[in-house]
Amino acid sequence: MARQHTEFFEIDMEGGWEDIPGYPPGCRRKILSSDLDETGQRGHRTRLIQIAPGAYTTEPFVHDHWEEVFVYQGDLVVGCNEKGEGGEVFEAPTYAIRPGGVAHGPFASRTGCLMFETHYYEADD
């Protein structure tokens, strides 16, 4: 979906979710807007992420773009092990911002969570 000027529109919170490539079952996304080009290192993406109760990732993530994450609902466990155990629990509402190149995760959710994320490349001045 290319980014374009769009006024307020209703978001179907029940349907239209898709599994996130490279993520385990229980992690889904809904892309709201995107022209992110990771190969060309430009653009921007906004999306919603759902993590089901008990779902977890097993490896840290590293990407080259900036990321801002707002945990809107539920809990997000940061730094769990490869079995989804341990880590630090953050309850909604919480927020993180990180530059590219920073390892983060693995992640889990005890009760499930809903997050809003934005990804972008910072323009060189």
pLDDT at res. 125: 41
Q: Beta strand 18-19 with 27-34: parallel, antiparallel or unpaired?
A: antiparallel
In angstroms, how far is the first alpha carbon of the chain from the final one? Answer: 27
For the chain of 125 residues, list the mean pLDDT of each consecutive stretch of 10.
Answer: 81 94 94 94 96 96 96 97 95 97 96 98 69
pLDDT at res. 42: 94
Written as one letter, the residue type at 99 is P
Domains, the chain, with CATH or none? 23-120 (2.60.120.10)
pLDDT at res. 2: 61
42-68 burial, b if ≥16 CB within 10 A, otherwise e? ebbbbbbbbbbeebbbeeeeeeebbbe
pLDDT at res. 51: 98
Tens-digit pLDDT profile for residues 40-57: 999 999 999 999 999 999
pLDDT at res. 88: 97
CA–CA separation, 80 and 107 (whole Å): 6
